[in-house]
Amino acid sequence: MAEFKEISPNATAGAKLANWFDNRFPTAGAAYREHMSEYYAPKNFNFWYFFGSLAMLVLVIQIVTGIFLVMHYKPDAAKAFESVEYIMRDVPWGWLVRYMHSTGASAFFIVVYLHMYRGLIYGSYRKPRELVWIFGCAIFLVLMAEAFMGYLLPWGQMSYWGAQVIVNLFSAIPFVGPDLALLIRGDYVVSDATLNRFFSFHVIAVPLVLLGLVAAHIFALHDVGSNNPDGVEIKAGPKDANGRPVDGIPFHPFYTVHDLFGVSVFLMVFSAIIFFAPELGGYFLEYNNFIPADPLKTPLHIAPVWYFTPFYSMLRAITSEMMYALIACVVAAAGFGVLKSRLSGLLKAVVAVAAVIVVALMLSIDAKFWGVLVMGGAVIILFFLPWLDNSPVKSIRYRPGWHKAVYGVFVVNFVVLAYLGVQPPSPIGERVSQVGTLFYFGFFLLMPWWSRLGEFKPVPERITFAAH
């Protein structure tokens, strides 16, 4: 048994309480010191570093509001829509809880997208933070599953038909597709069985996985230390007499106060949306979802909620015509590998044979399957980013100016794909989404080549910081 720490009889009541607690639960005190008061973070964080703490805040909002919604929600196809209406109209403050949850879903993706973009521009996925990035991408993937399952629960028109379309996509997978779609639905169509499955996963299974990944993400981050806008490792820099990095400051109280400012601004915007525009023009809550689900009446235009639409655009972009462009890309890549690379003769032959097999598969399998593969690949490719970037520097600050333009075009392209995914199909939109899909994958697949090009600025030995 560990010895109790003594404290002066003249200490304040708060100090005595803290000492009493620390003597009986020292693990909590050690965790607090390791991850808060004695965790040294770079002192040059900027506003891009708000979004990690905001993601934690929104996660808490979603869990708390979800608990209150479950108290009144009925996971029954005959009663689900009415139970949501009951929450909105008859439960005291039920409308506020429901709008907080629906707005929180969109807010979650907004802050996560911005958080991931910060990691992209500052190279937060580079050594030694590969595992931090992988855990983050896994969080994003699980969050998409959580949001998709929750989207069905209101049992409105768009919820029902959106789930019908997305689940049916799995049937395009050769051999196992129809059985897999049947397993997900629990029936031959989206029905009460589907609603119950999605409800159980949305409320219990997926949140547990999500919380575990969030904990792993934070622990992995605090083990290797936070990145910063300069991409300089403060642990490798000068240290004071106590062995602490001189370019770091304790996370608490400095960054807890720093994050409180971001939280305050976020809550003002969040509250304004909840009270004045909870549907946000039909993007956060589609108007069709205020109509009960009708299996006999298909909406004129079916589209997922906005945070899925960039990937939905890529799915729709893969048509029979687009397959020829993709085949040309495969042939060009294989030809480059055979003619220009330093591979041995045997490996070049393997590349050529593999290209022939892939082209044969692309010609023989329906384009719908390749659309599903592209949609999934658009997320999975993010996991490989640490090994795709060959830039000699981490941060965008010290890369060539045209690199910034490439990242800017990537953002614009992603937003355009998101917008096109909301719109009804059109010939022009189809062509733009096809070009956007090629650029999205080209950005990552060609990164080993273009990330090395250009004149890079010298990276300082210590972080640059101006007090403010």
pLDDT, averaged in runs of 10, over the chain (468 residues): 74 86 84 84 91 96 97 94 96 96 96 96 94 97 95 93 88 87 90 94 96 95 92 86 87 90 96 95 90 89 90 93 87 78 73 85 85 94 95 94 96 96 91 95 94 92 77
Q: Give kind and range of the element (H or E) at residue 302.
A: none
- Model pLDDT, residue 467: 67
Rounded CA separation 420/312 (Å):
9
All domains of the chain, ordered by start, with CATH?
34-290 (1.20.810.10), 309-450 (1.20.810.10)
Is 354 in a helix, a strand, or coil?
Answer: helix
Question: 304 by DSSP, 3-state: which?
Answer: coil
> Distance (Å, rounded) from C-alpha 184 to C-alpha 357?
31
- pLDDT confidence of residue 139: 97
The reported pLDDT for the residue numbered 29 is 81
Question: H-type helices in 90-205, by residue range?
Answer: 94-122, 130-152, 157-169, 177-185, 192-200
Alpha helices (H) in 170-277, listed in sequence order: 177-185, 192-200, 206-224, 256-276
| This prediction's pTM | 0.93
For residue 229, whether the previous peptide bond is cis, meaning omega lies within 30 degrees of 0, is: no
Q: Angle at the Cα of 407 (from 406 to 410), degrees rounded to 5?
A: 90
Q: What pLDDT score does 364 carry?
A: 84
Q: For residue 88, what pLDDT is reported?
A: 95
Cα dist from 132 to 76, 280, 363, 386, 387, whole Å: 39, 33, 39, 10, 14
Nearest C-alpha neighbor of 206 from the set 381, 52, 63, 69 = 63
Pick from 266, 236, 278: nearest CA to 97: 278
pLDDT, residue 308, reads: 93
pLDDT attached to residue 468: 58
Q: Scan for tokens 């547990």, then name that residue.
A: 208
The confidence score (pLDDT) of residue 463 equals 87
Point out which residues pair with 156 in neighbouring strands: 292
Which tokens in the block code for residue 360? 């044969």
d(CA 1, CA 24): 11
Rounded alpha-carbon distances, angstroms, from residue 288 to 71, 87, 100, 297, 312: 25, 18, 19, 12, 19
Find out whether 146 and 221 touch, Cβ atoms under 8 Å.
no
**Greatest CA separation found in the chain?**
83
* pLDDT for the residue 174: 83
